[in-house]
Amino acid sequence: MKNNTYTYLSAALLLLTVACGAPDKKSELEKLKAEQTTLSSKIAALEAEIIKAGGETTTSSSSVSANAKFIFVGFEEIKKQPFVHYLQVQGKIDSDKNVQISSTIGGSVDHVYVVKGQQVQKGTLLAKTDGDQIQRGIQEIDKALELANQLYDKQKRLWDQQIGTEVQYLQSKNQKESLESKKATLQEQYSKTSIRAPFAGVVDEVYTREGQMLSPGMPAFRLINTNDVKLVANVSESYVSKVKVNQEALVTFPDLKKEVKTRVKVVGDVIDPVNRTFQIDLDVNQDKNMLKANMISYIKIKDYTNPSVIVIPINLVQNNNGKNYVYVVDGSVSAKRFVTLGQYYENSVEIFDGLKEGDKLITIGYQDLVEGQPIKFE
């Protein structure tokens, strides 16, 4: 009986020992797995730092793929496409007939006949300054000239009849002609009291008002021929070999919220010595009625085109020791591809070498990759 009791106790103790030992081994296994994950992450991070520093790791891509964590990535299959580069400059609306009109003589403004925005024809009366004093002078001369004409006619008849002296005849003639010359001068001055449009156009600004004193040369109006507007821009001389007549251009008018296609019409031959730029003119035949003098625009001139080339977002390109590279999908791992860059514009860049059509360019998650990194797809 004692032996049976002892046997039962031993078996129970053994079962208790096994039961107690199992959880310990399980927790130890979990601990080791956690350490393994931590070590794998540290190894991958160190390898990435070594690669970025230009060194080599002691772990092959196959060993990395065996232990490293997967990184989720996204990709796009590469296809050739057209690439266009634009030269960007700021322009403004101008016109060969964009002038300030002023009075050539001083005086008080009697009347203004036009308003801003009004369409006028050549010769339209815009304003008139005080000419009363000039008119009074003309009236006085007219009276004197009437008497001078009578005297001249009398002396001429006598001279024709060989009566009277030549001196009397010449004096009357000179007096008459002198008064006529003074009258013509005053009439010309009086005509200048009328400020008229020198050409057909739109009154862009009215600077004067009735009762204001105008000095000679003081601006009174701005007149623009809107049928003769053009777009002008100043371009840095560094682009002098790239800008040609008839080049395509895209023009954006922010105030109009509109973009139009046009071409370069004139390329200036002179470099401004102050700002080192040359002027270009562009056609703006569309919507001329909507364009205002000095209106700002943004011009994009097409200066380079590649009809078929690999183009990728420039932010995908990384650099190590002066070498540019990207990551592509290579089966279930990432592969580094060194690339040769061409022209870039805005967010895109040409790739001349290192990639080919059909390559799967990694576009999401590329920042965390190293050579041979195990990957999964989002």
Which of 208, 223, 238 is at the close of a domain? 223
Rounded CA gap, 295 and 284, in Å?
12
**Dihedral of CA 255/258/264/266: which sign?**
negative
Instruction: Identify the bridge partners of residue 376 per DSSP, sorted by sequence position.
Output: 72
DSSP structure class, residue 248: E
Tokens of 205: 């600004």
51 part of a folded domain: no
25 part of a folded domain: no
Rounded CA gap, 176 and 138, in Å?
14
Residues 6+ apart with CB under 8 A from 374: 64, 65, 68, 69, 70, 71, 332, 333
8 part of a folded domain: no
Of 6-10, 124-128, 158-162, 261-265, which gets the smallest average pLDDT?
Answer: 6-10
Please give the residue range of the domain that contains residue 235: 87-96+225-306
Tell whether 282 and 364 lie within a shared domain. Answer: no
Tell whether 181 and 253 lie within a shared domain. Answer: no
pLDDT of amino acid 38: 57
Which of 282, 306, 330 is at the close of a domain? 306
Tell whether 237 and 301 lie within a shared domain. Answer: yes
Mean of pLDDT over the chain: 83
Mean pLDDT across the stretch 151-162? 82
Tell whether 207 and 356 lie within a shared domain. Answer: no
pLDDT of amino acid 209: 93
Tell whether 301 and 326 lie within a shared domain. Answer: no
pLDDT tens digits for 46-86? Answer: 654 554 454 444 443 433 544 568 899 999 999 999 999 99
Number of domains making up the chain: 4
Rounded CA gap, 278 and 270, in Å?
6
Tell whether 106 and 216 lie within a shared domain. Answer: yes
Task: Give the global pTM.
Answer: 0.54
Tell whether 212 and 300 lie within a shared domain. Answer: no
CATH number at residue 299: 2.40.30.170
Tell whether 238 and 273 lie within a shared domain. Answer: yes
Tell whether 234 and 301 lie within a shared domain. Answer: yes
278 part of a folded domain: yes
10 part of a folded domain: no
Mean pLDDT across the stretch 146-162? 84
Tell whether 247 and 289 lie within a shared domain. Answer: yes
Which residue in 98, 108, 190, 196 sits closest to 141, CA to CA? 190
Q: Cβ of 310: how many Cβ atoms within 10 Å?
A: 23
Tokens of 238: 């560094």
CATH number at residue 358: 2.40.420.20
pLDDT of amino acid 127: 94
20 part of a folded domain: no
Q: Do 44 and 370 meet the contact criterion of CB atoms below 8 Å apart?
A: yes
pLDDT tens digits for 321-355? Answer: 899 999 999 999 999 999 999 999 999 999 999 99
Tell whether 206 and 319 lie within a shared domain. Answer: no
250 part of a folded domain: yes
Tell whether 270 and 339 lie within a shared domain. Answer: no
Identify the residue whose tokens are 């008849």. Answer: 157
337 part of a folded domain: yes
Q: Cβ of 68: how many Cβ atoms within 10 Å?
A: 20
Rounded CA gap, 321 and 21, in Å?
55
Residue 22's pLDDT band (boundaries 50, 70, 90)?
A: very low
Residue 45's pLDDT band (boundaries 50, 70, 90)?
A: low
